[in-house]
Chains A and B, each alone.
Chain A
Amino acid sequence: KAGVTQTPRYLIKTRGQQVTLSCSPISGHRSVSWYQQTPGQGLQFLFEYFSETQRNKGNFPGRFSGRQFSNSRSEMNVSTLELGDSALYLCASSLGTGVGQPQHFGDGTRLSIL
């Protein structure tokens, strides 16, 4: 069974631009969560989608948004990029929703803002 696939693996952008990251979950998984990982803040929850609906949201500005498609694939968009958005963005999928669900992580997208 294929794991969680995130594309692209690396991205370089400049301030003010926008970016879209993609995540394909494990087949059969309906929940997709996104995390931002930085050396200073660690792993921070961005949002979770389940059955095309945003189920939960972390404490991030509105520049961060996401969506989920009917095949459970998810995209995350960041607009008006700032230097502080440089991070590893991780996607995780799980069979169902809820805090008891073990999560399966992709290898992440490394976003660098110049």
Chain B
Amino acid sequence: AQSVTQPDIHITVSEGASLELRCNYSYGATPYLFWYVQSPGQGLQLLLKYFSGDTLVQGIKGFEAEFKRSQSSFNLRKPSVHWSDAAEYFCAVGSTSYDKVIFGPGTSLSVIP
């Protein structure tokens, strides 16, 4: 069955530190991959997406993600975190085989000064 896992429920980092949020999926073929961010009281905002081509994709707000087919992973990274990055982050996977987009459970990010 298709699934999306985000192993870290909650992460706390210091402002200025680097960040990596993990995402793993189980699908047969290369799916469409997305990262969204949700600030409190708001909807989700698309950070970046991967469909094909270069496995390192750049997104908004200084985020990037790397697709690793061998590990079925699509981890999100940021070299230096800002306090405004505190939010919930969702990895999402779209499969043409199942014709659905599945969201991971989310990772809550806290940033300490």
Residues of A within 8 A of B (CB): 4, 6, 35, 42-43, 45, 56, 58, 90, 92, 98-100, 102-108
Complex: chain A residue closest to B101, CB-CB: A99
Cβ of B103 and Cβ of A42 under 8 Å apart? Answer: yes
Q: Tell me, yes or no, whether B42 is within 8 Å of chain A by CB.
A: yes
Contact present for A106 and B101 (CB under 8 Å): no
Given the complex, which residues of B lie within 8 Å of A105, measured CB to CB?
36, 43-45
A56 touches B103 (CB 8 A): no
Q: Which positions in B face A, CB cutoff 8 Å? A: 31-32, 34, 36, 41-46, 49, 51, 90, 94-96, 99-106
- Whole-angstrom distance between the alpha carbons of A99 and B34 in the complex? 11
Known: A99-B95, A100-B51. A43 touches B103 (CB 8 A): yes
Give the distance to chain A from B79, nearest Cβ to Cβ, in Å.
24
Contact status A102-B49, CB under 8 Å: yes
Contact present for B41 and A107 (CB under 8 Å): yes
Whether B34 and A102, one on each chain, are in contact in the complex, defined by CB atoms closer than 8 angstroms, is yes
Q: What is the minimal beta-carbon distance from A22 to any residue of chain B, in angstroms? A: 15
Q: Is the CB of A45 within 8 A of B44?
A: no
Closest to A104 in B: B46
Contact, CB under 8 Å: A100 / B100: no
- A109, B95: Cα distance in complex, Å: 27
Among the listed A45, A90, A103, which residue makes an inter-chain contact with B100, where contact means beta carbons less than 8 Å apart? A45
Pair A102/B46 contact, Cβ less than 8 Å: yes
A-B contact pairs, 8 of them (CB 8 A): A56-B99, A56-B100, A100-B51, A102-B46, A103-B46, A104-B46, A107-B41, A108-B42
Q: Which residue of B lies closest to A33 (CB)?
A: B101
- Give Cα distance in the complex from A37 to B27, angstroms: 23
Residues of A contacting B106 in the complex (Cβ-Cβ under 8 angstroms):
42-43
Which of A43, A45, A99, A103 contacts B96, CB < 8 Å? A99
User: What CA separation (Å) do A43 and B34 show in the bound complex?
Assistant: 14
